[in-house]
Amino acid sequence: MTRRAAWSLGAIALALLLAGIAVWWWQSSLEDPAPAASRSPTSVATDADVQQVAQQQLDDHLGSCIADAVGAVLPEGCGLRIPWGTEFAAVDRVRMRIDRLPTLELTDEGFVAEDGVLVVTVTGTGQNGSARTETYHTDSWSVRGDVTRDGTNVALDVW
């Protein structure tokens, strides 16, 4: 190999090495590509938001249960079980008052609402045939049911 060919070959190798270093340095100085941020607002429902919406729906539902109680008929799906069968032969009127609404807790299977206070006054005819009025008071009024969740929308099905 001649001296001229050796110098030419060395110059080409040096040029390739410098070009490789330049490309590597240029690539490393660029910022990593990141996904573009979305400009559209999104609503992320937290468990607390869903819990609060569900509690409000339950409160409204139970309030309507009390308002819908007409005469001696108890509305369905309100968690109302009054043991008047042993004391009354016939019931003429039922009055209900909520002293404390049950506190709702969401579960994997649905919901449980416990620790409500309910006062019910029943008027009618006793087992002995005379007029009778009894007041039932519970400090452990509870209801259960199913929950359907879709974002912050909640649908309760009280049993």
Spatial distance between the Cα atoms of 87 and 23, rounded to a whole number of angstroms: 94
Q: Which two tokens stand for residue 158?
A: 């009280």
Alpha carbon 147 to its chain centroid, in Å, reads 8
**Of 5-14, 45-54, 63-72, 137-146, which has the strongest mean pLDDT?**
137-146
Looking at residue 87, the DSSP 8-state letter turns out to be: T
| Segment 129-152, tens digit of pLDDT | 999 999 999 999 999 999 998 877
Going by C-alpha positions, the residue among 98, 88, 105 that lies closest to residue 65 is 98
Q: Which two tokens stand for residue 149?
A: 């969740």
What is the model's pLDDT at position 103? 96
| Segment 18-39, tens digit of pLDDT | 888 888 877 777 766 555 555 5
Query: Residue 96 forms beta bridges with which residues?
Result: 120
Spatial distance between the Cα atoms of 99 and 79, rounded to a whole number of angstroms: 15
Max intra-chain CA distance, the chain: 133
Spatial distance between the Cα atoms of 69 and 72, rounded to a whole number of angstroms: 8
| Residue 42's pLDDT band (cuts 50, 70, 90) | very low
